[in-house]
Structure 1
Amino acid sequence: MTVLDDYTAALAQPRLGEAPDRYDELVAPDGTLRPAWRPLAEAAFRLTAGDLARVDEEIQRTLADDGVTYALPGERPEPWRLDPVPLVIEPDEWSTLEVGLTQRAELLNAVLADLYGPRTLLRSGVLPAPLVLGHPGYARVVARASNADPRPLLLSATDLGRTAAGEWRVLADRAQAPSGMGYAMENRRVVSRVLPELYRQATLHRMAPFFHALRTSLLQAAPGDPADPRVVVLSPGPHSETAYDQAFLASTLGFPLVQGSDLTVRDGAVWMRVFEHLEPVHVILRRVDAAFSDPLELRGDSRLGVAGLSEAVRRGTVRVVNGLGSGVLENPGLLPYLPAVAQHLLGEDLRLDAVPTWWCGEAEQRRTVLDRLDELEVRRIDGSRVEGDRDTLRARILAEPHAHVGQQPIALSQAPTFGRERASYGPPTGRIAPGPMSLRTFSLWYGSSYRPLVGGLATVRERHDGGRTSPWVSKDVWVLKKDAAEPDQHLAHQLQLSYAVPGAASGPRVLDDLFWFGRYRERAEDLLRLVLTAHALAEDYRSRPWSSGGASLAVAWSAIHRLCPLPATAPYAASFVGLAGPEAARAEAFGAPLDAEFHAVLLDPTREGSVAQSLAALRACAGGVRDQLSADTWRAFAALDRAAAALTASPHSHRVEEASGRMLDGMLALTGVTANMVRDPGWHMAGAGRTLERAQQVALLLAAATVERRGLDTDRRVLNVVLGATESVVTHRRRHRGYVKVDSVLELLLLDPHNPRSVAFCLDELRGHLAAMPGSTGSTRPERLLEELVERVTTVDVRALVAIGGAHRPYLRGFLAQLVADVAQLSDAVAGLHLAAGPGPRSFGQLVSRLSRHQGSLGEDAP
């Protein structure tokens, strides 16, 4: 029997003659398939446990390659979870549901327009004033009848659950900043790829036309009918819970993904900062909660919004989607009043019922809640759940009756879900088990009516796998067509797409992220090369620290610790102190800690300057400009993650070299990503960051390896370490036939204009990047500093640098120290001219990222 056969048999047997306690999305109470699944039965029921295990692995790998993550509130981002078994809905059932969703969107829009306009619902008592005015989502700053917007709700979402009788019930409405469309589209893309036979057999609605309609609606929402409407997607930043969803929308729709610091309000209008000028913004697709959208009139401690945005909205110079006060619609206390509201505003009966809800601000409803506390869920009107025993809940309700509701939980329908603990890499259980499911749907104002997305985002929660609980997993939603010729999304004729001038998308914040993207990429790559070189030495000389090879290993580690300092609290710190010394006891104790230190340098994200720390910062920079980077970027990150996971799972020494090599491959893939970028200012800033970092890395490495004299044999090995870490062994050998001297290495890595790893080459490349920036004139401070540095490097006399003064080369030491300081000064000048955006608001995540850039610098002289 296949897994679906097993699932069907297990559900059918115990239910014979019994009323089911839950509705099953696959199997009817008599054991037969639901009508929606019958056309797919032939292909679906051929799937074995092995097939689904393979598909599940492919899903996880594909999602990782795409960099799809999600974070529950207050938690770290984790990989997006997608179940291989879709939710399938037959066309007749969806048609009925679609009518109810369309009516609900019209009703919510009418409620919003009334609450911020004439307020007849409050004046007539259809809605109690404390229920609305006491909700944190009600924005008084835009509540003016003179500024009433007849269409304040462009996009809404509704969470649905199915009862045991098979009836859909509304669980909640989402109007503040509805999320999930990007995840829904990603689910469809992945499932269609990993289950092609089942997907081709199912005649279902494609989702792409809905996104085309969304783009058209946003462009047409611009106030004043501008000739070239500009739309932006306002994001809290890459640390947002739904950062992927926001970036996906921006990239798919072709609109810039911006943060609060990218926008400013001047003369009552919103503008986007672009280089040295401002460009007008007409529509903002808002993914920042309203309370954080304007620190001037809303939350003064917000660093996510735009000061003055409320005034621009009141003046009608910008359209915010959805409006700043739309969060009031997410009030669960509205649910018991919506049937009367529908009659008042639409003159219609409400088609979609909600879960039974009672608002405690009304005496009779409050008594109902207090009498049934053992069976109801208590929530605040902001949607948060209230926990506690009966006495605690009663006391909280009586203290603030208007702020609480009671809701009757329903037994959500169950959907077949592949049995695997998503948080581990363990083998799948090989079975399909039922899990309680909810469905998020989306509705868009398009043309002259609301149109629900034919599909949605399904979520299964609290699924149990062999005693373990997986908190949630998403499902693709397949709505079948009645006929193959039926137009996708029921959009037979799409509106003419308005023209939008793309404009420049690279403001100071974007350039800043790309600049540091280039720096962190180079920083991680160079440290990986040094680790690979040091590991090769360690395999030969870890047991012979008194040899010249052991001494060169000590120098390699001193260079690594210059870039990634060894914490004094490390339990094996003393072993490294005595590595090159004569004390045999310390040297013999070095073997085991060596592998631990390799692991820490590669994997410890809290270790200053480690590869893991650089990669975390690199990923944060990439997340801030995700809409401008190729999908290959996230495949490279996925390869890096897999290499790190493999090394974490293995303590063996040889795994260090293998994992470092695989991580280096991932870094080189990121190099290819930037090589294929359009040569715009963003690309030039990424290149400027890379060349500055490389010049500084080379200088620091030379300072650690070439300043001291250690004997001819040891110096020769140390110089080979330098050449290996800078990928210059082949070039040097070809030129000097294997004869390695300090002056030949310095010629190659300092002065050679044809060696991409030399300081002179990097400075010359930096000159081209800076000259291409709009703010450059040929005489700006960065350009002046660069020209001085180029002259100092290219005119230096190598023979003078290598002059010996006792056990050191004092002139070389002074030159390299000055070179590191000059590069740091040049970096600050570049940032001051091309990256500074003034005192605009910054999110907390950005501030943390900026601090980590300094904490993870390459030594005390690094920027």
Structure 2
Amino acid sequence: MLDENELMYTVLKDYQPDLSTYDELRFQGKGEVLPYWDSFFEAFQSLTPEELEKKKFDMLRMLKENGVTYNIYDDPTGAARNWKLDPIPNIIDGEEWETIQSGLIQRATILNLIAKDIYGPQFLLKNKIIPAELIFQHPGYIRQCMSIDVPGGCFLNFYAADMARSKDGQLWIIGDRTQAPSGSGYALENRMALSTAFPEFFKNEMVAKIGAYFNSVYKELCSNVPHGIDNPKIVVLTSGPGNETYFEHAYLSNYLGITLVQGEDLMVKGDYLWLKTLSGLERIDVILRRLDDNFCDPLELRSDSLLGVPGLLHVARSGNVVIKNAIGSSILENPGLIPFLPNVAAYFEMGELILPSLATWWCGQEKELKFVLENIDNLVIKRIYRSDLNSPSVIDVGELKGEEKANLILQIQEKPYLYVGQEKVNFSSIPAYSNRTIHAGRAVFRSFLAHSDDSYVVMPGGLTRAGDSKNNIIITNQSGGTSKDTWILSENIKENLPIMHKVAQTFSMRQPIALPSHTAESLFWLGRYTERMISNGRFLRTVMQFLMQSDRYVYDNDTSESATIILLRALTCFTFTYPGFVEMKDAQLLENPWEEIDNILFDPKRAGSYLSNFQRFKNTFLSVREFWSNDIWRVFHHLDQQFSSENIEAITDVQAEVRIIDDVVSSMFAFLGLNRESANRLQGWTIFDVGRKIEQCFSVIALLQFNFTHKKVDSVEHELIESVLICNQNLNAYRYTFKDFLQIHLMLDLLLKDLDNPRSLAYLLEKLQKYVKSLPRNQYMPQSDSQLDNCISTAIKMVEHANVVTLSKSIGELEEYENLQSFLDKMYHLMLEISDLISKAYFKHTIVPKQLYKSDLIY
């Protein structure tokens, strides 16, 4: 423990640095805090423990409400983890930063020159400066890219380096990120959250701002574009919501004002790359790639990839699209290159490495292999590439048991060129705050660079990850690390420009955001799932409240046509949770229906359950996360909490279940209302409303279809009409409109034909027709007399011409509502056809086949 008097700060009285390594906080061998930490700890100490906890809670709440997550692969508890942020930053002195910055620029330049050479003249290989097998045995070397002329000769447009200190305080580069470097968006979000929750920390500090770095990112995206276009069309290519850093993909898309797309949103046609949008095809000029190399083009690379774009390499080869970073840049992440970097730097006359790498031995050389095997207990072993996501990227041999160690040695001996041995160092310790105390953790720092003209711009900050002091080797988000804001202190901080500042005169930062077809489809289904949650919740609540009144749920063989049984059957059909109450053989099920209702509510494996529908809503919501405001995120997190396992397990009675349904339905309307008030009226919200109206139509049809199959006794019919009107929120409207007792033909008039009733079929179809007409017509969409328009018009005319008296007549001995059921069945299939036609016209972009010859010329 450090001496309190020497430290000056009582908040550090329990801080115990690891004496076996370098401490970022203090002078080595002394108790004094390094001077550039003074101002921070003065501010930190001015806060009471209660204030610190409250502010930390607010900071983490802000991150959660902003949707900041990190996806954990193969996590049984759920993919998305809330982002962790320590209120104590990692502070780097400005003088040292000048050296770090120069070293990073030098490193990025060298790596770019390596890529330019190995995909070009290959002098490094011919002169044996880099062993050929180190390149050709690596899957990151894409032979198909040899013939692609990269604009400006820049393979490495964006670069990130992981750095850490060893025991002597030396800063080492421990990893290069060259394929699709991630983390810059998280770094920006960290800064925003910390500065908002703890403004006093920044009051007396000269902390370099990081926002202007993204101007350099955008400027690089707009440089060296095909055919010198002034306003290039740029997209962010993501693998989708399952990617571990999908939050950042959506975040950068929003922040930079460019379109987020997946592979299925793009297509190749006529040597060009096109984005499929609601308005048709839109040509793409630049791709900011966040998709791994080998998945980018299933036609030339991995044929099993469903994430890329067939023919993408052909378009790049034709010079009609620029991919940043260039496909094939993952070869530069090869740790086997590290031992050869000093010779590469000398070859390109770059001088000595300013920032060295950890001592590394490539096992493809006989002498180095022998050294690694003889000293393996004291080394870290790395493969030159990861074979799969579940395989460890770093192996601490000292942690292996006998058989595991023997297997590793055998693997190295069989294929030595696939492995490197690396010096094992204890990463420096850094103060971390948790459980109201400051303790020592381990730190790894990632910095970010963007290519600019003939050099690179470095973000004056970055992303620091801190881990438990017991974990000396692996500090990652996947392994549970906590992030830190990173401060660069300097008295000469330049003015930072906001992201929307015009960084060049030849192009505009603002450009219309196209709506990709895949995103439009997600919004369409989000609208449907939103209404499904509302309608299913209302019907569940109606049935549950009906059952709680006067012991109506008691089963009686003589009253098999009671309202109770009809409503329970309808509940199964309405929610598609078959077989449920449809099979009437099990009398016990009807004597006590609550267990089945519980399953309909909260069984995650039950198709059609309320919880499974919420999971569909949640997944779709997260897939278009770039659309949501902070207020909408708050509503979403409240909804998510309602369906958490802890909340569900705490339910003890039926009333509590009803309260959850009430809360969910209210939250869904809050979600809709916030969209109405805060969202721009773009195509996305129109297609969202189209989905809503279609689902509302299905709901009205299903309510009538499953509750009114044939005539019942007057008392049962009265209860059914009342329940349907309650579920549809139309009971008061009925009383106000008709001022009469409940009759089926009047109910049908209100729910089918009343254009003043926003929940009637007539009103919904009129709105649907209006929304569809406002959508753009493209080459895949027929003109105004299209089948889609005809289907909607047919549905509207059916409702207009429907005679509610005729529909409400019962026919035959069984007194079946044949006319009503026939009408509803036709409407149901029309709505299915309308939904399918919308999908074909706007989401699938199916090319209509054209006949090559006139039929009258064929004999």
1:626 maps to amino acid: R
Counterpart position of 1:66: 66
C-alpha deviation, 1:168, in angstroms? 1.5
Classify the secondary structure of the residue corresponding to 2:46. Answer: coil
Tell me if 1:215 matches 2:221.
Answer: no
Where 2:666 maps in the other structure, the secondary structure is: helix
Q: Which residue matches 1:729?
A: 731
Kindly tell me: are residues 201 and 565 of structure 1, through their superposed partners in 2, closer, same or farther at Cα, counting changes over 3 Å? farther
1:66 partner amino acid: N
Match of 2:822 in 1: 814
Cα drift, residue 149 of structure 1: 5.0
Q: How does 1:218-237 map to 2 (within 5 A)?
A: 218-237=221-240
Partner in structure 2 of residue 774 of structure 1 = 776
Identify the match of residue 832 of structure 1 among 823, 836, 840: 840
Q: Distance in 2 between matches of 1:407 and 1:651?
A: 54
Change (3 A) 1:834 1:489: closer
Q: Write the deviation string for residues 546-603 of structure 1: whole angstroms up to 9, x where unpaired.
A: 69999545444333322334465xxxx68x9669x9x6x6655445x26xx33x4344
C-alpha distance 722-249 of structure 1, shift in aligned 2 (>3 A) = same
1:336 maps to 2:343: no
Partner of 1:563: 574
Match of 2:549, as an amino acid?
D
**Which stretch of the first structure deviates more once superposed, 300-309 or 612-621?**
612-621
Q: Residue 69 of structure 1: CA displacement?
A: 1.9
For residue 91 of structure 2, what is the aligned residue in structure 1?
Answer: 88
**C-alpha separation in 1, matches of 2:752 and 2:712:** 22
Partner of 2:720: 718
Q: Is the 8 A contact 1:172 1:330 kept in 2?
A: yes
Hey, what's the Cα distance between the residues in 1 that align with 2:535 and 2:818? 26
**1:658 aligned residue:** 659
> Please, which of 243, 246, 249 is the counterpart of residue 246 of structure 1?
249
The separation in 1 between residues aligned to 2:815 and 2:702, in whole angstroms, is: 19
Find the aligned partners of 1:404 and 1:215 in 2 and give their Cα distance.
Answer: 37
1:389 aligns with 2:388: no
The more displaced of 717-726 and 255-264 is 717-726
> How far is the alpha carbon of 1:245 from its aligned partner?
0.7
User: What secondary structure is seen at the aligned counterpart in 2 of 1:374?
Assistant: helix
Query: Partner residue of 2:612?
Result: 613
Match of 2:423 in 1: 408
Could you say what secondary structure the match of 2:845 adopts?
coil
Write out per-residue CA displacement over residues 161-205 of structure 1, whole angstroms, 9 at most, x where no aligned residue.
122222221111001001111111111222222223224443312
Residue in 2 that maps onto 1:533: 542
1:514 corresponds to 2:523: yes
Change (3 A) 1:518 1:183: same
Which residue matches 2:137?
Answer: 134
CA distance in 2, matches of 1:226, 1:145: 20
Residue pairs, 1:682-831, within 5 angstroms: 682-737=684-739, 739-775=741-777, 777-805=783-811, 806=814, 808-831=816-839
What runs of 5+ residues in structure 2 fail to find an aligned partner?
387-392, 472-476, 849-859
Q: Secondary structure at the match of 2:549?
A: helix
Moved more, 605-614 or 342-351: 605-614
CA distance in 1, matches of 2:795, 2:212: 55
Q: What are the superposed Cα offsets for residues 497-516 of structure 1, whole Å, 9 maximum, x if unpaired?
A: 54247245123323222221
Between the aligned partners of 1:33 and 1:724, the Cα distance in structure 2 is 68
Tell me if the contact between 2:338 and 2:360 (Cα under 8 Å) persists in the aligned partners: yes
Pairing 1:318–2:321 present: yes
For 2:216 and 2:417, how far apart are their aligned partners in 1?
A: 39
Q: Are the counterparts in 1 of residues 130 and 340 from structure 2 also a CA contact under 8 Å? A: yes
Relative distance call for 1:63 and 1:490 in structure 2 (3 A) is closer
Note the C-alpha offset of 1:239: 1.9
Cα displacement (A) at 1:366? 0.8
Match of 2:671 in 1: 670
Secondary structure of the residue aligned to 2:23 is coil
Cα distance in 2 for partners of 1:787, 1:815 equals 15
Q: For the Cα contact (< 8 Å) 2:151–2:224, is it kept in 1? A: no
In structure 2, the CA distance between the partners of 1:470 and 1:351, relative to structure 1 (3 Å rule), is closer
Moved more, 119-128 or 26-35: 26-35
CA deviation string 1:295-346 (max 9, x = no partner): 1111111111122221222232221100101100100111111122111113
Match of 2:275 in 1: 272
Q: Read off the aligned partner of 1:695 and give its amino acid letter.
A: C
Deviation of 1:278 (Å): 2.8
> SS at 2:442's partner residue?
strand
Give the structure 2 partner of residue 625 of structure 1: 624
Tell me the CA shift for residue 350 of structure 1.
0.2
Worse-matched range after superposition: 215-224 or 611-620: 611-620
Q: After TM superposition, give the deviation of residue 6 of structure 1 in Å.
A: 7.0
Q: Which residue does the alignment assign to 2:31?
A: 31
Equivalents in 1 of 2:168, 2:565: separation in Å?
Answer: 73
Could you say what secondary structure the match of 2:412 adopts? helix
What's the TM-score, normalizing by structure 1? 0.87
SS in structure 2 opposite 1:557? helix
Which range moved further: 752-761 or 600-609? 600-609
Structure 2 counterpart of 1:451: 457
Equivalent residue for 1:173?
A: 176
Q: In structure 2, how many angstroms separate the alpha carbons of the residues matched to 1:502 and 1:72?
A: 34
1:348 is paired with a residue whose SS is coil
Partner residue in 2 for 1:643: 642
8 Å CA contact 2:65, 2:633 repeated in 1: yes
Equivalence for 1:377: 380
- Between the aligned partners of 1:199 and 1:714, the Cα distance in structure 2 is 70
Q: Which moved more, 1:775-784 or 1:270-279?
A: 270-279
Letter in 2 for 1:712: D
Partners of 2:710 and 2:810 within 8 A in 1: no
Letter in 1 for 2:451: W
What is the SS of the residue equivalent to 2:135? helix
Superposition pairs of residues 539-558 of structure 1, within 5 angstroms:
539-541=548-550, 545=554, 552-558=563-569
SS in 2 for 1:23: coil
Q: Secondary structure at the match of 2:785?
A: coil
Give distance in 1, aligned partners of 2:807 and 2:151: 75
For structure 1, which runs of at least 5 residues remain unmatched after alignment? 420-428, 841-863
- Structure 2 Cα separation of the partners of residues 490 and 772 of structure 1: 35
Q: Does 1:295 align with 2:298?
A: yes
Secondary structure of the residue that 1:454 maps to in structure 2?
Answer: coil
- Displacement of 1:147 in angstroms is 6.1
* 1:8 and 2:17 matched: no
- Alignment-mate amino acid for residue 409 of structure 2: R
Give the AA of the match of 1:479.
W
CA distance in 1, matches of 2:291, 2:148: 25
Distance 1:257 1:586 in 2: 49
**CA distance in 1 between partners of 2:66 and 2:604 (Å):** 22
Q: Work out the CA distance in 2 between the residues paired with 1:799 and 1:738.
A: 16
Aligned length: 809
User: What is the CA deviation profile of residues 125-159 of structure 1, one whole-angstrom value per residue up to 9, with x for unaligned ones?
Assistant: 11111111111111111124976852221100001
Confirm or deny: 8 A CA contact 2:577 2:609 kept in the other structure.
no
Give the aligned residue type for 1:527: N
SS in 1 for 2:153: coil
For residues 386-424 of structure 1, what are the alpha-carbon distances to aligned partners after superposition, in whole Å with 9 as ceiling and x for unaligned?
6762321121111111111112222112233343xxxxx
Paired with 1:145 and 1:261, the residues of 2 have a C-alpha distance of 23
The aligned amino acid for 1:325 is G
Aligned AA for 1:308? G
What is the distance in 1 between the residues matched to 2:481 and 2:656? 33
RMSD: 3.1
Percent of matched pairs sharing the same residue: 28
